A = this chain, B = another copy of it.
Amino acid sequence: MGRPRTPLIDRDRIAAVALDLVDEQGDFSAPRIAGRLGVRTASLYHHVDGRDGIVELVRDRVASAIDGTALACEASEWEPAMARWARSYRAAFAAHPRAIPLLMASPIRAPEVLAQYERAVGLLLDAGFAPGDVLTVLTALEDLVLGSALELAAPPTMWAPSDSSDTPRLAEALAAAPASLADAAFELALGACLGRFRELLER
């Protein structure tokens, strides 16, 4: 066959198909991506740096939904800005729950997300946070976002255990729990963290 006049595939379409496969089947493989693109497996390697490279592309694709515009605001507005950013960050993962285990293994490297961190740091510094507190605050928030996203992929421990006779109090709490437990927990922890951050600032 040889080289086509115009390339048959590109990185973008590889990433899109990989994410589709993950959404549908929980994983992807080079042969299945190639199959959907009507191309041979080996062709992928002309566009992409191996399987890990595809994972990176998928990660960046998912992360592209994070809304960094909330961070462009007055320093006095740092609190709602961080709240909106955190919610958007979590929502980006929530949109692809089956991708989460795949993506959690390593950090987001997309330059746009890096730029968002730079802006977040600047916002917190301008708001008056001590330089030594800024990354602690940001990391705490990120822990919360990622942990909460993880929960969307793997409903956490054993809500609804097979036999609740050994766990009567768990059953009692479960019956009274809010319908969207994951969301409620995230909002509770987010509010808690933001409140504590404010205290840190006012001290």
Chain A residues proximal to chain B, CB less than 8 Å: 101, 104-109, 113-115, 117-118, 121-122, 124-125, 130-132, 134-140, 142-148, 150-151, 153-159, 161, 166-170, 172-178, 181-182, 184-186, 188-189, 191-193, 195-197
Q: Once bound together, how far apart are the Cα atoms of A174 and B132, in whole Å?
A: 8
Assuming the A-B contacts A139-B181, A167-B118, A192-B192, are A107 and B176 also in contact, with contact meaning beta carbons closer than 8 angstroms in the complex? no
B193:A118 contact, CB within 8 angstroms: no
Please classify the interface of chain A as helix (H, G, I), strand (E, B), loop, or mixed, using the class held by over half of its residues: helix
Residues of B close to A143: CB separation below 8 A: 144, 147-148, 150-151, 185-186, 189
Residues of B close to A134: CB separation below 8 A: 173, 176-177
Residues of B close to A125: CB separation below 8 A: 169, 172-173
Q: Please give me the residue from chain B that is nearest to A173 by CB atom.
A: B134
Q: Please give me the residue from chain B that is nearest to A111 by CB atom.
A: B166
A106:B154 contact, CB within 8 angstroms: yes
Q: Once bound together, how far apart are the Cα atoms of A92 and B121, in whole Å?
A: 31
User: Closest CB of chain B to A110's CB: distance in Å?
Assistant: 10
A191:B186 contact, CB within 8 angstroms: no
Residues of B close to A130: CB separation below 8 A: 176
B117:A158 contact, CB within 8 angstroms: yes
User: Closest CB of chain B to A158's CB: distance in Å?
Assistant: 5
A181:B150 contact, CB within 8 angstroms: no
Q: Once bound together, how far apart are the Cα atoms of A191 and B166, in whole Å?
A: 31
Residues of B close to A191: CB separation below 8 A: 196
B195:A132 contact, CB within 8 angstroms: no
Assuming the A-B contacts A101-B105, A104-B101, A147-B148, are A135 and B186 also in contact, with contact meaning beta carbons closer than 8 angstroms in the complex? no
Q: Once bound together, how far apart are the Cα atoms of A104 and B196, in whole Å?
A: 28
